[in-house]
Amino acid sequence: MTDGTEGDGGTRPADPFRVEFVPGVTPDKWLRVWGQRLPDSPLEAAPVDDAEALTHVRDGTSSMVLLRLPVDRDGLHVIPLYEEVPVVVVAKEHVVAAFDEVDVTDLGEEVLMQDPALVPEWAAVATSEARDRSAAMPPMTTKQAVSVVATGSGIVVVPMSVARLHHRKDVVHRPVTGVAPSRVGLAWRVDDDDPRIEDFIGIVRGRTERSTRGGTSEPASSQVADETARQPGRAKSSTTPARSGDRSRGAAGRRAQQPGRKGAARGGGPRRKGRR
């Protein structure tokens, strides 16, 4: 059904345009721009669990979804948007809390309170006992896993935005090296020709209101995907990983000194990367 309103892409549907986003992703800026630029085109934005994001966009529950990559791209266009720093969440009294940054190899004896397949870098360095104990854990939501972590029973490795979303007074999070950054992307169906899709792509990509839209959605997705593949280090990052690393080595980011501690943390302890 249409409302007869003509736009750059033709007649616009009357029903609201629905965009979903997984935990930790904050589309507020893009939604504000949409409201300013397309005040007569209603947009519904709603959170969605990671496990349901692809199902919703494929069955039409949502027109577009902001989700974490990689994903099965069958029948979908996907634009990589930015990367996030991975962090380890630990109890406030955990030895890791004394450091600004740790390496995944220093977490090999810790029990991972999530599916090890989600953090293959940890699985590659974990002891057999840690892997067995992690595999024996019942399925938990991230919120539940963080609650268990608060008791000192294990760790969780998640994107920084997710750690902030589930922050508690009894846990802390620290950047963890040796784990691939989390990538966020925008996905939609290849057979969806709703002109509002191209409007949203333009906003996400930072096009000005007067700029010429890129035609069909396929060239837009292909161009961005190709550019990202050619220049993986140039992906836009909301948490600027390089700067985070620089800060940890600067005067303001020196690791906390603990008198009498030799840095041992159940197998060597987190590596100190600041001054001695």
What is the CATH number that goes with domain 86-180+241-253? 3.40.190.10
**Is the predicted pLDDT of residue 193 greater than 90, yes or no?**
yes
> Where in the chain is CATH 3.40.190.10?
2-83+182-237, 86-180+241-253
Closest among 164, 135, 143, 145 to 238, alpha carbons compared: 164
Q: What's domain 2-83+182-237's architecture?
A: 3-Layer(aba) Sandwich (3.40)
Q: How many CA atoms lie within 13 A of 94 on its CB side?
A: 30
Render pLDDT for 160-192 as a digit per residue (tens, 0 to 9): 999 999 999 999 999 999 999 999 999 999 999
255 falls in which pLDDT band (50, 70, 90)? very low
pLDDT given at position 232: 38
**Is the predicted pLDDT of residue 253 greater than 70, yes or no?**
no
**Is the predicted pLDDT of residue 204 greater than 70, yes or no?**
yes
**Is the predicted pLDDT of residue 263 greater than 80, yes or no?**
no
pLDDT given at position 47: 97
Going edge to edge, which strands form the sheet with 102-103?
Answer: 102-103, 171-177, 86-91, 156-159
Contact 153, 135 (CB under 8 A): no
**Is the predicted pLDDT of residue 89 greater than 90, yes or no?**
yes
Lowest mean pLDDT among 84-98, 154-168, 204-218, 262-276: 262-276
262 falls in which pLDDT band (50, 70, 90)? very low
At 234, the amino acid letter reads R
